[in-house]
Structure 1
Amino acid sequence: MNHAQDDLLLVSLIKQGDSRGLDSLFRKYYNSLCRFATYLSNRSDLAEEIVADVFFRIWEKRDTLTVEKNVRSYLFTATRHTCINYMKQEKRIMEDLSEDLIEVNAGPEDELMYRELESRVSDMVDHLPLKRKAIFQLNRFEGFSYNEIAEILSLSAKTVENQMGKAIKQLKLLQKTYRL
């Protein structure tokens, strides 16, 4: 069997609910996908999160997963799209948090301040507890509704709503610590 056929077999296992298929595919492509995501995002910490999210989504959507020919190409394309989505969402959050700090005609000093602010916000989100962080990122970075997140994480929509409220409160408190 060649690599493409091996990969299709792993996808078949994933579609059947066999997590060993996902684990094998993850181990096979994780490093190269992280390098690719780092290249696209220019951030290794974000790259690891993006790749993990790609595999998380594959597992969550295994029932409707349609990969017919080239699994490697599918994974790289999914990583590229996820990276773009993360960067768009991160940009939106940065704009929301920094609209008072950055003028429309920003100069080099303003750009430096913006990048520092962006880094601080990323650090703040990293301080959230794992499940709360996942809920926050799915909602704010990926655009999922509370009901969709509840279904993905096997939680009630009310729990997701409560965790989002707590995440926002925690980020506001951290904002004071970071002096944003």
Structure 2
Amino acid sequence: MDNTPLRIAVIVGSAREGRFGPTVAAWVAAEIGPRPDLEAEIVDAADFGSETVTKQLGLADAFVVVTPEYNHSYPAPLKALIDAHNAEWRAKAVAFVSYGGLSGGLRAVEHLRPVLAELHATTVRDTVSFHGGRRCFDVDGRPLDPESSAAAGRMLEGLVWWAHALRDARAKSPYPS
């Protein structure tokens, strides 16, 4: 097994003016930060089309998609980012952190799962969800509920397991295209 730190791309899925996604993504990256087995890098859907984004996605061992829920689904810039980088998702693990009104963004996550399955990505079961979005965070960008860090830890454990399994499998044999 390759013991080098896993590269986790934390994806900000919204590109709207005044979006809250960067705050949530920064919190996710901060949760990953203390772990010596992981390296976090924030990738912004607002930067769609840049060579940097393509490289960041390609080098990632796994992803945490941070998505709001817009109209019972996920944002169009996130869909464009996913669709434009087909090979970069292949045989990699994906976890979700969602936010939004009453559903906390969970409908967006449920719509993303089959899209990513079509690209041969493996989504992990545990999701972190913030019902009410901005109201769940303090002025410093930290969740008000102390259970949020524990939920993120459970999500990351599943992501790490799948990311290692898939990275090791890709190293033994390239994933069929």
Normalised by the size of structure 2, how large is the TM-score?
0.26
Q: Normalising to structure 1: TM-score of the pair?
A: 0.26
- Compare the two structures and name the one with the higher helix fraction: 1
Q: Comparing both structures, which one devotes a greater share of its residues to strand?
A: 2
User: Which of structures 1 and 2 has the larger relative contact order (alpha carbons within 8 angstroms, sep 6+)?
Assistant: 2
Computing the radius of gyration from Cα coordinates, the structure with the larger value is 1
